[in-house]
């Protein structure tokens, strides 16, 4: 562990992990005079490049975590990969950890999440723990094909998810040799996400419900607010998310991914940190999700989640074959002086989330076309 000599003036928030979420958290930390410290795996990590108080260490090491936490007013996370028992150990050592282990485990363990959501009456797909291919076959016989097998722990961005139509698909999923959960396939109209924040003193706020567009399990586009969503459905989605935050004792941000179906809303996934479905808030809401998370983990009053424009669209930048994005800034900025470009300072690799663009305005079709044009041009050089 490196330990730079750094004398803080403001409150210190320690974020475990140093990816793009920590990087974007540094922007409101700068504004508020909050001292962000990150635990990076390497000095090349996205956030390590912009956070002076970067410590290099292992998020699976109890010693590294306890060392990192010394002097922090709050501890929080850039990812879900810190083992639950080490999160608990930090709190037991007297640190203010947000979310705490008892909440966070629901974002780490999909079986625990499903059990708890079912118990509190939140709509879920049919689900079961499955230990063997035979368990999965029985689940399929009961609920119909296809079924979805998911890694109980550790999946993200489409990894650790198998949509199974045949016994061969099921065998393939089990060949990974990890604990699996079976879920019924939800025939959804579209995917929605609700981002809420909850502070230790119990204040909660919800951002407007958004529509997320996924390709190959990766979020590619977010439309805020979700176009054409009925007001009562939107309120219901927000109530579900706030209820989960309250019942699970979440502190900080909670992103709830949902399916919109003919029969109502079904909860898909939870995340307890700033979330890709909330990147639009940097320009599109009065309080960005990153500022909101800082406020929440420090138990400060939460900020306004109001929209700054009628429509906001965010499109992810997924790395292509060309490592040099910067040469394309010229066209994108000249073509549209209002589009906002975000680049995470990561080496460009095919398929990697390397940035995003945001457009906002009064006309959804126009805003969406602007965001897409910028994203396609930046990543491929193609003029669409």
Q: Which residues are annotated as a binding site?
A: 110, 150, 183-186, 191, 268-269
Strand duo 353-361 + 204-206: pairing: unpaired
Q: Which of residues 277-316 bind a copy of itself (CB under 8 A)?
A: 282, 286-287, 295, 300-304, 306, 308-309
23 scored as a contact of a copy of itself (CB under 8 A) = yes
Q: Distance between CA atoms of 45 and 347, rounded to whole angstroms?
A: 10
Q: Which of residues 316-335 bind a copy of itself (CB under 8 A)?
A: 325-326, 329-330, 333-334
369 scored as a contact of a copy of itself (CB under 8 A) = no
Cα separation values, 361 from 225, 228, 293, 305, 307, Å:
12, 16, 25, 17, 11
Distance of closest approach, residue 333 Cβ to a copy of itself, in angstroms: 4
Distance of closest approach, residue 304 Cβ to a copy of itself, in angstroms: 4
Q: For residue 321, give every residue at least 6 positions away whose Cβ sits within 8 Å of its Cβ, in sequence order, or none.
A: 350
Indicate the residue among 5 and 175 with the shorter CB distance to a copy of itself.
5
Phi, psi torsion values for 66, nearest 5 degrees:
-65, -35
Q: Distance between CA atoms of 189 and 258, rounded to whole angstroms?
A: 11
Q: And the tokens for 231?
A: 């007001």
Distance of closest approach, residue 266 Cβ to a copy of itself, in angstroms: 31
Indicate the residue among 188 and 343 with the shorter CB distance to a copy of itself.
343
Indicate the residue among 24 and 254 with the shorter CB distance to a copy of itself.
24
Q: Distance between CA atoms of 199 and 298, rounded to whole angstroms?
A: 8
Strand, helix or coil for residue 24: helix
Q: Which residue has the tokens 């990969």?
A: 81
Q: Which of residues 334-363 bind a copy of itself (CB under 8 A)?
A: 334, 337-338, 340-347, 355
Distance of closest approach, residue 337 Cβ to a copy of itself, in angstroms: 4
Distance of closest approach, residue 334 Cβ to a copy of itself, in angstroms: 4
Indicate the residue among 125 and 303 with the shorter CB distance to a copy of itself.
303
Distance of closest approach, residue 326 Cβ to a copy of itself, in angstroms: 6
Q: For residue 313, give every residue at least 6 positions away whose Cβ sits within 8 Å of its Cβ, in sequence order, or none.
A: 221, 222, 223, 224, 280, 358, 359, 360, 364, 367, 368, 370, 371, 372
Cα separation values, 204 from 104, 199, 241, 300, 303, Å:
17, 7, 10, 12, 10
Tell me 277's DSSP state.
G
Q: Which residue has the tokens 């920590």?
A: 22
Q: Which of residues 54-113 bind a copy of itself (CB under 8 A)?
A: 54
Q: Which of residues 28-57 bind a copy of itself (CB under 8 A)?
A: 29-33, 35, 44, 48-52, 54
**Using CB atoms within 10 A of its CB, is residue 261 exposed (0-12), middle (13-18) or buried (19+)?**
middle
375 scored as a contact of a copy of itself (CB under 8 A) = no
Q: Could you list the residues known to form a binding site for ATP, using ranges.
A: 110, 150, 183-186, 191, 268-269
Q: Segment near a copy of itself (CB under 8 A), from 26-34, 104-112, 239-247, 366-374? A: 26-34
Tell me 47's DSSP state.
T
Number of residues that bind a copy of itself (CB under 8 A): 51
Q: For residue 310, give every residue at least 6 positions away whose Cβ sits within 8 Å of its Cβ, in sequence order, or none.
A: 361, 362, 364
Distance of closest approach, residue 37 Cβ to a copy of itself, in angstroms: 12
- Contact footprint for a copy of itself (CB under 8 A): 6-7, 9-11, 23-24, 26-27, 29-33, 35, 44, 48-52, 54, 282, 286-287, 295, 300-304, 306, 308-309, 325-326, 329-330, 333-334, 337-338, 340-347, 355
């Amino acid at each position: 562990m490196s330990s730079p000599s750094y004398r803080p003036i403001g409150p210190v928030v320690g974020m475990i992990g140093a990816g793009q979420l920590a990087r974007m958290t540094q922007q409101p930390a700068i504004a508020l005079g909050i001292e962000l410290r990150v635990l990076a795996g390497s000095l090349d990590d996205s956030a390590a490049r912009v956070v002076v108080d970067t410590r290099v260490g292992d998020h699976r090491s109890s010693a590294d975590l306890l060392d990192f936490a010394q002097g922090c007013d709050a501890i929080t996370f850039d990812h879900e990969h810190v083992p639950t028992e080490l999160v608990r150990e930090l709190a037991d050592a007297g640190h203010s950890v947000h979310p705490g282990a008892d909440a966070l485990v629901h974002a780490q363990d999909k079986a625990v999440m499903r059990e708890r959501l079912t118990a509190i009456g939140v709509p879920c797909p049919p689900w079961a723990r499955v230990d063997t291919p035979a368990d999965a076959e029985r689940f399929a016989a009961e609920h119909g094909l296809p079924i979805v097998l998911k890694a109980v722990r550790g999946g993200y961005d489409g990894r650790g998810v198998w949509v199974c139509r045949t016994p061969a698909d099921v065998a393939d999923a089990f060949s990974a040799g990890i604990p699996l959960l079976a879920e019924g396939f939800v025939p959804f109209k579209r995917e929605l996400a609700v981002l809420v924040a909850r502070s230790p003193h119990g204040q909660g706020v919800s951002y407007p419900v958004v529509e997320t567009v996924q390709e190959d399990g990766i979020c590619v586009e977010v439309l805020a607010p979700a176009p054409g969503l009925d007001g009562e459905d939107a309120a219901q989605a927000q109530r579900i998310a706030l209820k989960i935050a309250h019942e699970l004792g979440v502190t900080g941000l909670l992103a709830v991914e949902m399916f919109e179906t003919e029969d109502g809303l079904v909860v898909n996934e939870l995340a307890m940190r700033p979330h890709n479905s909330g990147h639009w808030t940097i320009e599109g809401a009065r309080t960005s999700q990153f500022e909101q998370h800082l406020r929440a983990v420090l138990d400060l009053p939460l900020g306004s989640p109001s929209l700054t424009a009628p429509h906001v669209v965010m499109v992810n930048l997924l790395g292509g074959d060309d490592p040099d994005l910067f040469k394309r800034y010229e066209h994108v900025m000249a073509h549209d002086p209002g589009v906002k470009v975000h680049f995470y300072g990561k080496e460009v690799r095919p398929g990697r989330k390397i940035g995003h663009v945001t457009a906002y305005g009064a006309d959804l079709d126009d805003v969406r076309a602007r965001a897409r044009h910028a994203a396609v041009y930046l990543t491929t050089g193609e003029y669409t």
